[in-house]
A and B are shown apart, each in its own frame.
Chain A
Amino acid sequence: MKALTANRLIDGEVVFWRAGQWIEQFPQAQFFADDDAAAEAALETGKAQPTIVVDAYLIDVVEAPGGYAPVSYRERLRALGPTNEPTHGKQAAGGAGVEAILAATGAARSTGRVDLIRRK
């Protein structure tokens, strides 16, 4: 699976693509099948919005227990916020989607070690 992400120009906020809109929460993002041409089309649309977002790009997403999670560690942190300040960033909202990213294991580029992102 894939998702489209960027940083919003005006405030740097991490945003995700959903049906023609940029939204702030990863769990509500639009997930594209790997062979879905709509992902590339969304990317082109995003790149054509330089006054709204900076640096739009596609990320790999995996199915995790209870939802979806970005594959790469860096993207999980972007989707959550910094681990040293659990009340800062998107993780502060909590909820099942955030829990799913926190609990994600077994991603393609990790060893499957549990509790990869610890909370204080």
Chain B
Amino acid sequence: MYRYDAIDREFLADRADEFRGQVARRLAGELTEDQFKPLRLMNGLYLQLHAYMLRVAVPYGSMDSRQLRRMAHIARTWDKGYGHFTTRQNLQFHWIKLGDAPDILDALADVDLHAIQTSGNCIRNVTADPYAGATAEEIDDPRIWSEVIRQWSTLHPEFSFLPRKFKFAVTASAKDRTAARVHDIGLVLRRARDGALGFEVIVGGGQGRTPYVGPTIREHLPVGALLGYLQAILRVYNRHGRRDNIYKARIKILVAALGAEEFARQVEEEWAKIDTAAADLPDTELARIRGAFAPLNFETLPARSETFEAAKRASPALARFARNNVKPHKKPGYAIVEISLKAPGATPGDASAEQMEVIADLAERFGLDDIRVTHEQNLVLPHVKLDDLPVVHAALAAAELATPNINLISDIIACPGLDYCALANARAIPIAQDIARRFEDADRAEMIGELKIKISGCINACGHHHVGNIGILGVDKKGEEFYQISLGGSGQEDATLAKILGPAMPADQVPEAVDALVETYLAARQGEERFLDTFRRLGMAPFKEAVYADVH
């Protein structure tokens, strides 16, 4: 993984020190709240319903055991013993005291972590494929390019005060695990016919109040031209983005207003004016960054592990875990292990300090010291030997981390919702918990197959409800929590936006409605169809009928 150098470390220490001074001045009354708020937000510190919340950047969702242990330490020392992994592959602490925040930033800086650019109208933490460097599907390592963008965008003076926040996702696999098409910019690495490496550049996707699947404005941007081209996109946005209206300020609104073709033309025009020799990354620097992600020292192993096969025969639990949470690795004898943070009844994305330490230990002992966060709020050990899977599974199970439900109905994304968030209209977590409990039967969940439920507690869509196969949006109806269900969304390579099923319903009717949707799907599915496939074939009508038939 990428390592900070002495200059990076000095900068982070200075930045934490600067924030310590700002907090002291705020507490002493030398700064008003209006003056202080943007300063704390620049350091990822929000004031929420019950306490301050600190959002820590996990660059492209990648951590080592030392960093995850430090998160556990922070959770235990300054929070209530847990942290919450988010759809930005970040970690949030929900019970932070302002007076402790400077010490926490010091503790983060000490392990090359920070909370910079996790808030505000700047380029936010870049997300990437959590299987990077481990999956055979990828044509290059997306972490390299994510790191390039991270370095370029960190404290970029021209792009620190954009019209609105700006989110990148980078993937290099045909199977998209980043929701690239619903980002401000999605970059998909591809090879041209001649073998040249380039990016498909998708601009103007997004969720929130006005969701869009982003159009592709360039099919193949040579990788070496990345930064100059990004600069051109950001310049067009910076100049023409709607600063007058916060609801229309995201780049998606500009792209939609101009049309993808005209937007692309303006980008090309801007690009032609840029001194690309100065803007683009020198080959030597790219080589240095690439070197940080050099292939690891994998052992030469047989593709099949007799130890693992025998253990699976002996343990149905391990076999089920292997079916759902273990994914193929590019190297024979290795696997990618997904750790679900969605145990039935648990809060999606939450991990206790003890669980973080278990995962850090496993990564260190069995996983080449590598841990990833997924945008679906789970964790990944990307490099585990098949031979070690029985031991890893047992350790995970002992820590209640072996829930075998990846991509199944109980693997639900949920934002913190009204239980924590100052913006929310309704709770999201209890809805996720109720649905997960209703589908707790693992056999039934496997029989249902891939089904992605995503829940947001307000229109800002942090819970990605627009791209849920079943999306659930919490709304405030005359002071009470109601939930609007939508169907048919996908955040993957076949991205589509979900469509509203019908009128919103009270919380206690939601699990029943989901059950009715699932039964409709099971009765109608053909062959290997997923829920999404059946929905696409049949359309809304039978699902609507199933949920609202009794409502008159």
Interface of A toward B, CB cutoff 8 Å: 7, 9-14, 50-51, 54-55, 71-74, 77-78, 81-85, 88-89, 107-111, 113, 116, 118, 120
Contacts and interface: CB of A to CB of B under 8 A. Distances in A.
B430 A83 contact: yes
A9 B27 contact: yes
A102 to B, nearest CB: 14
Interface in B8-60: 26-29, 32-33, 47-52
B80 interface: yes
Contacts of B478: 109-111
Q: Which of B27, B479, B506 has the most CB of A within 10 A?
A: B479
Contacts of B26: 9
B98 A84 contact: no
Contacts of A73: 418, 476, 479-481
30 contacts: A9-B27, A9-B33, A10-B97, A10-B98, A11-B97, A12-B47, A12-B50, A12-B51, A13-B50, A51-B28, A51-B29, A54-B47, A55-B33, A71-B479, A73-B476, A74-B418, A77-B418, A82-B50, A82-B419, A82-B420, A83-B429, A84-B427, A85-B80, A88-B80, A88-B95, A89-B50, A108-B479, A109-B479, A113-B480, A120-B345
Given A74-B49, A74-B418, A78-B50, A84 B480 contact: no
* Chain B interface helix/strand/loop/mixed: mixed
A84 B346 CA distance: 8
Contacts of B433: 84
A12 B419 contact: no
Nearest to A115: B508
Nearest to B23: A10
Contact of A14 (B50, B80, B347): B50
A99 B316 CA distance: 44
A54 B50 contact: no
* Chain A interface helix/strand/loop/mixed: loop
B547 interface: no
Contacts of A107: 479
Top 9 closest pairs, chain A to chain B, by CB: A109-B479, A82-B419, A11-B97, A12-B51, A12-B52, A84-B429, A51-B29, A10-B99, A110-B480
Nearest to B99: A10
Contacts of A10: 27, 97-99
Given A12-B98, A83-B427, A88-B80, A77 B49 contact: yes
B270 to A, nearest CB: 41
Nearest to B82: A85
A12 B27 contact: no
Contacts of A7: 47
Contacts of A82: 50, 419-420, 429
Nearest to A116: B480
Nearest to B477: A111
Nearest to A112: B480
Contacts of B506: 113
Contacts of A77: 49, 418-419, 427
Interface string B327-347: 000000000000000000101
A11 B50 CA distance: 9
Contacts of A54: 33, 47
B96 interface: yes
Interface string B109-147: 000000000000000000000000000000000000000
A85 B94 CA distance: 12
A82 B80 CA distance: 13
A55 B37 CA distance: 12
Nearest to A49: B29
Contacts of A85: 80, 347
A120 B419 CA distance: 14
Given A12-B97, A12-B98, A13-B51, A118 B430 contact: yes
Nearest to B28: A51
Contacts of A12: 47-48, 50-52, 96-98
A60 B51 CA distance: 22
B33 A50 contact: yes
Contacts of B27: 9-10, 51
Contact of A11 (B51, B418, B480): B51
A108 B478 CA distance: 9
Given A12-B97, A12-B98, A77-B418, A50 B49 contact: no
B99 A72 contact: no
A83 to B, nearest CB: 6
A81 B29 CA distance: 29
A110 B507 CA distance: 14
Contacts of A89: 50
A94 B133 CA distance: 50
B118 to A, nearest CB: 17
A85 B420 CA distance: 11
A108 B48 CA distance: 25
Given A10-B97, A84-B427, A84-B429, 14 more contacts: A11-B98, A12-B51, A14-B49, A71-B479, A72-B479, A74-B49, A77-B418, A82-B419, A83-B427, A84-B347, A88-B80, A88-B95, A109-B480, A110-B480
Given A10-B97, A12-B98, A81 B50 contact: yes
B216 to A, nearest CB: 39
Nearest to A13: B51
A7 B48 CA distance: 9
A50 B418 contact: no
Contacts of A72: 479
Nearest to A81: B50
Contacts of A88: 50, 80, 95
Interface in B406-430: 418-420, 427, 429-430
A84 B51 contact: no
